[in-house]
Structure 1
Amino acid sequence: MRMDDYEILLKLYEIGTIRGTAKAILISQPAVTQRLKYMENYFGETIFIRTSKRLLPTPAGERVIQHAKEMVEKEHLFKNRLAETGEEIKGTLSIACSSLISQRYLPDILGEYTAAYPKVAVDLVTGISEDIRKNHKQYHVCIIRGDKLKETTSMHLFDDPLYIFDTEPFPEHGIKERPIISFKSDDSMHELVDSWLFEQQNYIKPQKKMTVDQIETCKQFMKQGIGMAVLPGSVSNHLKEHYPYIPLFLEKEAVTRDTWVCFQEGIRQLPQVDHFLNLLENYDFIAD
């Protein structure tokens, strides 16, 4: 078995469909099907049951998948140990990053990093911070929003003030009644917004709530006059020149979202991780 076969198997388990896996790893569906058939022949067991919705692992398949995880982890560990002993920076750098940070800042950061260390293989997963927290031990570095991770070394990168935008002005007197649009985020973000709205109930009264999957969709809905939207300053400063907005305050303090980079103790012994963390420490996280 080749290492990329194990990685395909884990991707099939993660995504649950041959089509989705083929799209994620940029090969054809027939090629993925062929590799799965080879693996099932190799182990002499059916690994997945194919249903109309997703692939379900058989009992034997669960053991094969666990074996694949162990093999991939051992391979990464071995490469990292090799990287520790060499003068040239190489090995694997695994990152789990908040979707917002991955859209706004990570392209620039990774562009600089990969240019400096082209032999480092970067494994990147993006998503909401809540999901990253559940699996944070799988990664060298986690960049999350909200509260820092417990039982890790955490460095504060920046705080991000929140604003509410609309195409219609916010009146100084009376109640503003408009729909409010939110984007998929972790619970701490929604709790901040809900607490602020509760404090502002005599001034701002959402008529209904709409939830979209991406922050960019939320911004576009707001621009079209569909409703109000609470957005972080890091992705919305340019909107201030064109749309009415007010900053969020609770008990006379600005409502902000903290951004952290978290990692396990001792992980900086890996040169590729240490250089990435140094880059983050010196990066200027300032919104346009």
Structure 2
Amino acid sequence: MDERDWKILDVLFEQKNITKSAEILFVSQPALTKRLMQIEEQFGVKIVDRGIRGVQFTSQGEYLAHRASQMLTLYREIKEDVSNMNDDIVGTLRIGVTNFFGKYILPEIIQQFTEKYPKVSFQVETGVSKEIFNLTYSNHLHIGLVRGDYSWPDQKLLLFNENVVIASKSKITLEQLPDLPRVDFGTDHLFKSLVDNWWNNNYPKPPQVIMKVDRGDTCKEMVTRGIGYSIMPHLFFQDKPDIYQIPLKDKDGTPILRPTWMFYHESSMEQNVVKAFVEFIKEISI
């Protein structure tokens, strides 16, 4: 068994599908099936059953899949430790970002960082803030770039604040909102609670939500085409100066802001590549 074999078991256990696993692993389906049969022969057990519902792991297969995850973590830690034995900035930085940050902000950061440290590679995970928070907390990621006021027990750096706005293709007023069509998008519970609390503090009836989409970018396009208004972070519309925006404010007239934080563990700063990235972020203006 080598790292590739453990990776096969890990991915297949997550996907429960030979075709999808082969695509992720960049191998052909017959090659993956053949290698899986060789692993079964090596251990003398049946690892999976294949049926109309996809791949089902046997009890022995589940055990090997769980051990595969542990082995891959061990391989990764060994590689990082070996790379860290000299003063060179080299290795793979595991970083997690929100979908918005990954599309609009992270590419420029990576470009600047790799120009300074060309031997560094990146493994980037994207998702909603809660997912990135959990992956960083459990040390699956070195760095988590998260939107919202999460309670983080270790090291953190405030990157920036942004206004939360009511965005519409045409000019609207706060008084009109309860009777206007609204588009919502899938987001983390902190942002949803922020918006819901603001609404409940200002209106006696629920909003007229006519559509809910899975991503902020999709919601942005719906707003741009005049399908409805939405309540979103301002940065979604930084390239849309023609979109009418009303900053959200509390009852005291204070703008409602959404922070973006960099979370990391102090222990991870022992890794040269992590320390270099943290110091780099502190030096630049995002």
The TM-score normalised by the length of structure 2 is 0.89
Match of residue 167, structure 1, among 169, 173, 177: 169
1:180 corresponds in structure 2 to 182
Give the 3 Å change call, closer, same or farther, for CA 282–50 of structure 1 in structure 2. Answer: farther
Q: How far did 1:187 drift?
A: 0.3
Secondary structure of the residue aligned to 2:13 is helix
Give the 3 Å change call, closer, same or farther, for CA 229–54 of structure 1 in structure 2. Answer: farther
Q: 2:255 aligned with 1:254, yes or no?
A: yes
1:234 corresponds in structure 2 to 235
Q: How far did 1:209 drift?
A: 4.3
2:216 corresponds in structure 1 to 215
2:99 and 2:55 mapped to 1: Cα distance?
Answer: 26
Answer whether contact 1:47 1:58 (CA < 8 A) is retained.
yes
2:146 corresponds in structure 1 to 144
Q: 2:112 aligned with 1:112, yes or no?
A: yes
C-alpha distance after superposition, 1:107-152 (max 9, x if no partner):
1112222333333342221111112233322211111111244322
Answer whether contact 2:152 2:263 (CA < 8 A) is retained.
no
Give the 3 Å change call, closer, same or farther, for CA 208–26 of structure 1 in structure 2. Answer: same
Q: How far did 1:54 drift?
A: 4.7
2:156 corresponds in structure 1 to 154
Q: How far did 1:271 drift?
A: 0.5
Q: What are structure 2's unaligned runs of at least 5 residues?
A: none
Residues 117-126 or 264-273, more deviating: 117-126
1:266 and 1:174 mapped to 2: Cα distance?
Answer: 51
Q: How far did 1:50 drift?
A: 3.6
Q: How much is the aligned-residue C-alpha RMSD, in angstroms?
A: 2.3
Q: How far did 1:172 drift?
A: 6.7
Secondary structure of the residue aligned to 1:24 is helix
Q: How far did 1:206 drift?
A: 2.6
2:44 and 2:87 mapped to 1: Cα distance?
Answer: 43
Answer whether contact 1:10 1:69 (CA < 8 A) is retained.
yes
Q: How far did 1:218 drift?
A: 0.6
Secondary structure of the residue aligned to 1:68 is helix
Answer whether contact 2:48 2:58 (CA < 8 A) is retained.
yes
Q: How far did 1:175 drift?
A: 5.5
Q: Aligned residues, how many?
A: 283
1:7 corresponds in structure 2 to 7
Q: How far did 1:45 drift?
A: 2.6
2:54 and 2:282 mapped to 1: Cα distance?
Answer: 41
Give the 3 Å change call, closer, same or farther, for CA 123–149 of structure 1 in structure 2. Answer: farther
Identity between Structure 1 and Structure 2 (%): 28
1:43 and 1:95 mapped to 2: Cα distance?
Answer: 35
Q: How far did 1:19 drift?
A: 2.8
Secondary structure of the residue aligned to 1:95 is strand
Answer whether contact 2:184 2:209 (CA < 8 A) is retained.
no
Answer whether contact 1:152 1:264 (CA < 8 A) is retained.
yes
Residues 26-35 or 247-256, more deviating: 26-35
The TM-score normalised by the length of structure 1 is 0.88
* Matched residue type, 1:94: R
Q: 2:85 aligned with 1:85, yes or no?
A: yes
